[in-house]
Amino acid sequence: MRKKREEEHENVERWLVSYADFITLLFAFFVVMYSISSINEGKYRVMSDSLVDAFREMPTSDKPIQMGAKNAEILQGSGKPIGVAAPSPERQQAAERMKKVAKNVLDAMQPLSQDGKVRVTQSPRGVTVEINASLLFSSGDAVLQPLSKEALAAVAKVLSGVENPIQVEGHSDNIPINSPAYPSNWELSSSRAGSVVRLFAELGVPTTRMVAIGYADNQPLDTNATADGRARNRRVNVLILNEVGGAAQELSLQGEARTGTPSTIAPPAAR
């Protein structure tokens, strides 16, 4: 008689092997993540010491900080808002002088005030007299017209009474010019600036304070794609330079002042 084979005992704890493998992998994963995110203690210490030193050197006050009308901080002993520096008396006087110069130049340019083609602006750079080239020269020429000489003579009288440097700039459009006298717009714009400087020198303005610059068509105020834009780009600028900054102002031909920037209040110009 054949002996009955005993049934094999089923191992109900085999899941522990898979579970142990899973736990091992999970542990390895966290070890790797920790090693990646660990802080460089040396760099952390350097940064911490730097912050401590910086805050240690900051001035302190035993009185509370006051708040001004414009929410500006006022430190003990200063009496003035942070970031708002009061202009010095010298700077205020210089700004007033330049404002007076701008008004005098504006009055001198009244004979050429046609259709807004003359504009006097005051900016941190100084006083700029911007004139349509058509009021000064014939088309394609750099010889000053008689009427323009009279007005520029009045401007020269104002300039001879100040000690500021004077920069005269000639500007053109992008239409090429090719004549025996002016092979390109470089020569034309430079000659126009030179004509104004030469007239000022003849009328007593010191030559050591003046410079003539020709920009050709490299600093347009408007597009050169239209006739009106090209006319606006043809101009002569007389800059009375200073070193006193301030808000830019435009002085209208009626003598009224408006705040603005030279780029937004630029006038039209014409050859």
Over residues 137-188, the pLDDT tens digits come to: 988 889 999 888 888 888 888 888 888 899 999 999 999 998 888 999 999 9
pLDDT tens across 232-257, in order? 899 999 999 886 434 444 454 444 44
As a whole number of angstroms, the distance between CA 198 and CA 20 comes to 98
In the structure encoding, which two tokens stand for residue 151, read together?
């007005």
In the beta sheet, which residues pair with residue 213? 169
- pLDDT band at 66; cut points 50, 70, 90: very low
pLDDT: which is higher, 125 or 196: 196
Q: What is the pLDDT of residue 74?
A: 37
CB 169 within 8 A of CB 237: yes
Pick 266 or 21 by higher pLDDT: 21
- Residues 6 or more apart whose CB falls under 8 angstroms from that of 61 comprise 75, 76
* Amino acid identity at 90: E
- Give yes or no for a contact between 98 and 121, defined as CB atoms under 8 angstroms apart: no
pLDDT of residue 12: 66
Instruction: Give the pLDDT confidence of 210-229 residue by residue, as tens digits.
Output: 999 999 999 998 898 999 88
Distance CA(100)–CA(97), nearest Å, equals: 5
Q: What is the domain class of 89-259 according to CATH?
A: alpha beta
| Residue-level pLDDT at 41 | 64
Most confident of 8-12, 58-62, 118-122, 233-237: 233-237
Rounded to an integer, what distance in angstroms lies between the CA atom of residue 189 and that of residue 183?
Answer: 11
| Alpha-carbon distance values, 231 to 3, 225, 228 (Å) | 121, 11, 5
Better-predicted residue by pLDDT, 157 or 264: 157
- Token pair for 187: 């020569």
Task: Spell out the domain ranges in the chain.
Answer: 89-259
Maximal C-alpha separation, the chain:
146
Whether residue 202 is predicted with pLDDT greater than 90 in this model: the reply is yes
Q: What is the mean pLDDT of residues 106-114?
A: 73
